[in-house]
């Protein structure tokens, strides 16, 4: 078992400086998956060297793909083609990573061999029927535990057929799972989403010359294409940048520039929400890198105001709510989030766990079934539990900038799943954060 890490944040301070946060997690996963299935050698730069992305990388190595790196963010993938994966000798262990499990579940349903997907305690308690049910409609044979959780036992050698599926929830993982299965299905597979979600799978498939058609909220794929190796430059992860977008907004006298951040419009809800709250955020040097928009982002302190968060922004900021709740705690007036039930089935129940922690710190935070109501107030000190959820650990670290006393955060080891350099970069900018194990 991983060592238990505790963060201690001394109150106050400000954030100043220019940094580049690590590579985008969603794109790093997909670069390994698609690079492995491509014909030829794919070079990736900016790859996220963190546990979740490495879980995907190891899974493909276990299926016979030669992958060099990561070294300084560079990964070289010797693609085996769409039908070249080999049966893994052992179950594929995917750690804490929901994206790895759900996307792989679709991809492996179309292979000729059987496979088993496992994960840590958190991942093995997350709902998987959202992928196994539509895959079953395509003909896939997958066994789950009785409550629909992993381990997932996937039968190979099954003939998949294309379906149309209306997603019941806005989920890029479910959409991507079905598109990947659709690469092995007879006829067309199409997915309609109830609201836009991150579209890295569609963009990257096109980057690998695999046709994916899009019409409004519908994405369509069939099995006729093949993937051609390409070079991928993964930009910085806006979900990691988000901690500093909030931190520099709430801490007085702050001025931070975040370099080379991915600003795909399906990911920038955090900027929109913070701007609605009155944040001072400047998006500079916008450019396109490998089919994805990228920019440098400057953020300076401001007095945030409470708002009703527009529901259409929820899927576009889905991973940023833990730290947005901290922003709301520092805002003047009330902030209300609705339409965010999905937060309850992430690495932890992010509504309950954030509400519990904020209440311990003296904040008036009331959880609701699908969101939270927060009345801005002073943040005190205390001891909170991240429940092994990386984003909760980092969100409470940022709260320290406006706390009146020390905040102790338990169970922070999973920061390594998405942002191993968090403590180092945060302290470089000015956060008083110590880590002990
Ligand atoms: O497709 C992806 O890379 C992701 C999709 C989102 O999950 P859902 O599809 O479950 O909303 C997000 O929370 C996760 O961190 C990454
Ligand atoms: C929800 C997350 O990731 P995943 O679903 O891949 O575990 C996240 O990184 O916040």
What does the pLDDT read at residue 42? 98
Q: How far apart are CA 164 and CA 109, in angstroms?
A: 17
Residue from 426, 368, 413, 422 nearest 386 by CA:
413
With 70 as the cut, is the pLDDT of residue 195 above it? yes
Query: pLDDT tens digit string along 203-222?
Result: 999 999 999 999 999 999 99
What is the rounded average pLDDT of the residues 174-190? 98
Q: What is the pLDDT of residue 2?
A: 60
125 is in an annotated binding site: no
Confidence of residue 428 (pLDDT cuts 50, 70, 90): very high
Identify which of 50, 97, 98 to mutate to test ligand 1's pocket (most ligand atoms within 8 A of the CB): 98
Closest CA to 288 of 271, 268, 270, 263: 263
Residue 347 has pLDDT above 70, yes or no: yes
Q: 25-233 has which CATH code?
A: 3.65.10.10
| Structural contact between residues 280 and 230, judged by C-beta atoms closer than 8 angstroms | no
80-115 confidence digits (pLDDT tens): 999 999 999 999 999 999 999 999 999 999 999 999
* 344 marked as binding residue: no
Q: How many angstroms is it from 186 CA to the middle of ligand 2? A: 31
Residue among 150, 55, 36 at smallest CA distance from 97: 55
Distance 50 CA to ligand 2 centre (A): 13
pLDDT at position 1 over 70: no
How many angstroms separate the CA atoms of 103 and 56, rounded? 10
Q: Do domains 6-23+235-436 and 25-233 have the same CATH topology?
A: yes
Task: Report whether 173 belongs to an annotated binding site.
Answer: yes
For ligand 2, say whether the CB of 120 is within 6 Å of any of its atoms.
Answer: no
| Average of per-residue pLDDT across 161-186 | 98
Find residue 44's DSSP bridge partners.
75, 232
Residue 319 counted as an annotated binding residue = yes
Average pLDDT over residues 336-345: 98
Distances (CA, A) of 301 to 14, 321, 330, 393, 422: 9, 19, 12, 22, 20
* Superfamily (CATH H level) for 6-23+235-436: Enolpyruvate transferase domain (3.65.10.10)
What integer best gives the mean pLDDT of the chain? 98
Q: How many CB atoms lie within 10 A of CB 141?
A: 15
- The one catalytic residue among 24, 237, 319, 411: 319
User: How far is ligand 2, taken at its centre, from the CA of residue 418, in Å?
Assistant: 9
Q: Given pLDDT bands bounded at 50, 70 and 90, which one contains residue 290?
A: confident
E strand or H helix at 260: strand 255-262
Which of 96, 97, 197 has most ligand 2 atoms within 8 Å of its beta carbon, as the pocket-test mutant? 97
In the chain, domain spans: 6-23+235-436, 25-233
Pocket test for ligand 2, best of 21, 22, 23, 25 (most atoms within 8 A of CB): 25
**Distance from Cα 26 to the centre of ligand 2, integer Å:** 9
Active-site residue 389, yes or no? no
Q: What is the pLDDT of residues 375-398, one digit of tens each?
A: 998 999 999 999 999 999 999 999
| 99 C-beta closer than 6 A to ligand 1 | yes
Smallest CA-to-CA distance from 42 within 94, 8, 66, 77 is with 77
Q: Are 335 and 328 contacting, i.e. CB atoms less than 8 angstroms apart?
A: yes
For ligand 2, atom 8, which residue shows the shortest CA distance?
Answer: 319
* Beta-bridge partners for 214: 219
Instruction: Give the span between the Cα atoms of 4 and 436, in whole angstroms.
Output: 9
Q: What average pLDDT does the segment 3-23 reach?
A: 96
C-alpha 111, offset from chain centre:
26
pLDDT at 318: 98
| Gap between the Cα atoms of 136 and 23, Å rounded | 34
Residues contacting residue 36 through CB under 8 Å, at least 6 positions apart: 60, 63, 65, 67, 77, 79, 80, 85
Q: Please tell me if the CB atom of residue 347 comes closer than 6 angstroms to any atom of ligand 2.
A: yes
When pLDDT is cut at 50, 70 and 90, the band that residue 3 belongs to is confident
Judge whether residue 178 has pLDDT over 90.
yes
């Amino acid at each position: 078992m991983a060592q238990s890490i505790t963060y201690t944040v001394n109150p106050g301070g400000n954030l100043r400086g220019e940094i580049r946060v690590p590579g985008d997690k969603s794109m790093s996963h997909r670069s390994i998956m698609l690079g492995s299935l491509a014909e030829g050698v794919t070079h990736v730069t900016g790859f996220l060297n963190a546990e979740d992305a490495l879980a995907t990388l190891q899974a493909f190595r276990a299926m016979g793909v030669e992958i060099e790196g990561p070294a300084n963010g560079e990964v070289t993938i010797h693609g085996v083609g769409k039908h070249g994966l080999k049966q893994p000798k052992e179950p594929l262990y995917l750690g804490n990573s929901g994206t790895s499990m759900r996307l792989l579940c679709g991809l492996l349903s179309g292979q000729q061999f059987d496979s088993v997907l496992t994960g840590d305690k958190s991942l093995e308690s997350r709902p998987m029927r959202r992928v196994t049910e539509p895959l079953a409609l395509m003909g896939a044979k997958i066994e789950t535990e009785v409550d629909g959780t992993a381990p997932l036992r996937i039968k190979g050698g099954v003939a998949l057929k294309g379906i149309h599926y209306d997603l019941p929830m806005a989920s890029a993982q479910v959409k991507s799972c079905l598109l990947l299965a659709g690469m092995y299905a007879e006829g067309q597979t199409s997915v309609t989403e109830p609201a836009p979600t991150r579209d890295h799978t569609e963009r990257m498939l096109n980057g690998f010359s695999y046709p994916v058609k899009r019409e409004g909220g519908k994405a369509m794929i069939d099995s006729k294409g093949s993937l051609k190796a390409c070079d991928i430059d993964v930009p910085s992860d806006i979900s990691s940048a988000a901690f500093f977008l909030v931190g520099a907004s709430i801490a007085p006298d702050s001025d931070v520039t975040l370099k080379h951040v991915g600003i795909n419009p399906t990911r920038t809800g955090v900027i929109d929400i913070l701007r609605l709250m009155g944040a001072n955020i400047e998006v500079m040097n916008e450019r396109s890198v490998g089919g994805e928009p990228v920019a440098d982002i400057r953020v300076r302190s401001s007095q945030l105001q409470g708002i009703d968060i527009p529901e259409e922004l929820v899927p576009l900021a889905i991973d940023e709510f833990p730290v947005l709740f901290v922003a709301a705690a520092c805002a003047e007036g009330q902030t209300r989030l609705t339409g965010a039930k999905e937060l309850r089935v992430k690495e932890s129940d992010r509504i309950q766990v954030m509400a519990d922690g904020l209440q311990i710190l003296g904040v008036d935070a009331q959880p609701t079934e699908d969101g939270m109501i927060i009345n801005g107030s002073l943040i005190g000190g205390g001891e909170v539990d991240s429940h092994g959820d990386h984003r909760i650990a980092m969100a409470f670290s940022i709260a320290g900038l406006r706390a009146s006393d020390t905040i102790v955060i338990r169970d922070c080891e999973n920061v390594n799943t998405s942002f191993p350099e968090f403590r180092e970069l945060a302290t470089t900018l000015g956060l008083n954060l110590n880590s002990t194990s």
